[in-house]
Amino acid sequence: MELQQEEDNVLIGYRASIVLYYFLLSQKKGLYLLPVNICSVIYDVFLETGNDVHFIDIDRKTLCVDEEKLFSFLATQKCTGVLLNHTYGVDVNFTGIISKMKSEYDIVIIEDRCLCRPELFANAEVDLTLYSTGYAKMIELSYGGGYGIIRDEAYVKNCNKELNNVSISFKEKIKFTYNFNIEKKQYFLDIASCEDYIISHKKKINNIYDYYLSQYKLNDIYNYWRYNILCKNKETLLNIIFSHDLYASSHYKPLSENVLDYANAYLLSRTIINLFNDKYFTERQAEELSKIIICNIEPYDDI
């Protein structure tokens, strides 16, 4: 990957959340709509920058924000902005939703692509597009990193001006560091130098999971970041996996305790297990893990 567009509208940082922090400080404060299955650090960024947040449930079919509920809320209350995320790195096309919001409302749109494969794509109507190369992301660099593509280049300068305004509490929450001095060109060269190997490795691991577990998996479009399976006995199965010195994850829980209003996100959270396929997870581990799951899983196939 090489930086193929003007550097003026690309901002890199220690974490993608830092880029989001700078961006929000350069915007007017207000109410932002977030999908309820977003990373808690992203939620913290909005609060730390003086914004209010309202959560929207996910759609049961797409596993991303529920479009109907999103526009129902926009029709009843003035909002400053909306964040759209790609659940499990799914490459869903938000063009229709984005165009409709921009045509009907004066609104800031942020697209969180942090679990997607890093690239230099950004919808022309999106104000900030976020990517990440930090821990447990699609392409993980040893030193972390994240970047944002900002539609209005003037805001990049505003973001840089806010460098010294990061609050102490936020620095502590996300382990903020100023020591991210890598040049943009080198940063993107570093991504390019390892992404072919990482993608190839993920395919090898996923092929093993497919051999054993294909009947339990989500659609393939959700399995690039990690390999996702559904089960009725999630907690029990995770405990069994850990007892064999292997590991898997349960990913983000909904950020609201209101189960009724966020039923789809809660259903997904109760039934999903993310199986690792990153560069640290070996083919032998994937095969052992698959055999353990086969012997202990209680299938869930209603999503």
The per-residue pLDDT for range 143-184, each reduced to its tens digit, is: 899 999 999 877 777 666 655 556 656 655 555 554 577 888
Percent of the chain with pLDDT over 90: 78
Question: How many CA atoms lie within 13 Å of 154's alpha carbon, on the beta-carbon side?
Answer: 2
CA torsion angle for 71, 73, 77, 83 (degrees, to 10)?
A: -70
- Whether the per-residue pLDDT at 268 is higher than 60: the answer is yes
Q: Please determine, for residue 25, whether its predicted confidence score (pLDDT) is greater than 90.
A: no
Written out in words, the top-level CATH class of the domain with range 7-186 is: alpha beta
Residue 167's pLDDT is: 60
Tally the residues of the chain: 303
CA distances from 172 to 138, 166, 248, 252 (A): 25, 10, 27, 21
Using one digit for the tens of pLDDT, what is the confidence trace for 211-235? 999 999 999 999 999 999 999 999 9
Q: For position 26, what pLDDT does the model report? A: 86
The contacts found for 98-103 with CB under 8 angstroms, 24 or more apart, are 98/123, 98/125, 98/126, 99/125, 100/71, 101/74
The predicted structure's pLDDT at residue 6: 47
Please state the separation of Cα 155 from the chain's center in Å: 23
CA pair distance 208, 188, nearest whole angstrom: 30
The per-residue pLDDT for range 177-207, each reduced to its tens digit, is 545 778 889 999 999 999 999 999 999 999 9
Mind listing the pLDDT tens digit for each residue in 49-104?
A: 999 999 999 999 999 999 999 999 999 999 999 999 999 999 999 999 999 999 99
pLDDT at residue number 252: 84
In angstroms, rounded to a whole number, what is the distance separating the alpha carbons of residues 69 and 55? 10
In terms of C-beta density within 10 A (0-12 exposed, 13-18 middle, 19 or more buried), how is residue 263 classed? Answer: middle
pLDDT per position as a tens digit, 237-257: 999 999 999 999 988 889 999
CA distance 209 to 214: 7
Which of 130, 120, 118 lies closest to 225 in space, CA to CA?
Answer: 118
Domain 196-296 belongs to what architecture?
Alpha-Beta Complex (3.90)
Distance of CA 106 to the CA centre of its chain: 25
| Averaged pLDDT, 105-109 | 97
| Every domain of the chain and the residues it spans | 7-186, 196-296
The span from the CA of 131 to the CA of 120, in Å, is 9
